[in-house]
Structures are given as C-alpha cells and as structure tokens.
Structure 1
Amino acid sequence: MSSSEPRLTVGEKTRVALYVARMAKRSLADGHTGRVYQEDLQRRVDRVIDKAREREERGGGRK
C-alpha cells in the first residue's frame, strides 16, 4: 500500500470487497461487452476510501 492510501478497517475492507464483487457480477452478467454501468459502485468504493483517509488525518482509528 502506498503512503497516499489509507489503512482500512475491517468494516471498510468488507464494504470495498462487497462492491468489487458486485462489479464483477455485473460484468459477468453483461457478457463482457463492456457496456455495463458500474460508475455507481466505483463512486461508493471511492467514498469509503475517502472517509478512511479523512479518519486517518483526524488521527482516529486503531494503531
């Protein structure tokens, strides 16, 4: 992990894994045509990572 990426809690890791799995499921259901809309899930992943970054900047979380 690079220094720009925050450490994720177990709950955050679980949420990201769930969103990635849903993206994979959508891609498989699409038949690999590349026309499936996944921006909503990508935004959710970005939001989880942004909140983790804010938490680390505040000094919260476990050490």
Structure 2
Amino acid sequence: MSPAMIKMWISIAGMGCMFLAILFIYLSRYKLKGIFRVITGMLAYLFLLVSGLILFIVLFT
C-alpha cells in the first residue's frame, strides 16, 4: 500500500473518532445522568483529542 493510501485511512480513522466524540458529547449532555454522564464526557473528549492529533499529524506530514 502506498504512503498516500495509508494517510487516507489514518485520516478516515480520525474523522471517525470525531464522529464518536460528537455522539458521546450529545449523549453525555442531553441523555445520561450521574456517573454515566461523566464517563461518556471524558471518553468523548479523549476521542476529540485523539482525532485532533491524528488530523494534525496527517496534515503536516
């Protein structure tokens, strides 16, 4: 597989992480209560951080 194709798949994974972050933030703010709200919120921001790092690395390589 060429390096360009590998970058494409890595960037698609980053976009998938962003989609999961959006979904988890929505769930934690509007649907869940208690400890589940905190856990999904932390997981959402973790996905957001990972996707941001992935897309930053792909953009500047």
TM range (shorter): 0.5 to 0.7
Counterpart of 1:44, as a letter, is F
Query: Pick from 30, 39, 57: which aligns with 2:60?
Result: 57
Q: Which residues of structure 1 form unaligned runs of 5+?
A: 1-8, 59-63
TM-score by length of 2: 0.53
- Matches of 1:51 and 1:12, distance apart in 2: 6
Q: What is the number of residues matched between the two proteins?
A: 46
Distance across 1 between alignment mates of 2:59 and 2:37 = 34
TM-score normalised over the length of structure 1 = 0.52
Tell me the CA shift for residue 19 of structure 1: 2.1
Q: Which structure: greater helix fraction?
A: 2
Larger RCO, structures 1/2 (Cα 8 Å, 6+ apart) = 1
Q: Mapping of 1:1-63 within 5 angstroms?
A: 9-27=11-29, 28-30=31-33, 36-37=37-38, 38-58=41-61
CA shift for structure 1 position 18: 2.2
TM superposition outliers: structure 1 runs of 4+ over 6 Å: none
Unaligned runs of 5+ in 2: 1-10
Identical columns (%): 2
Root-mean-square deviation over aligned CA pairs: 2.2
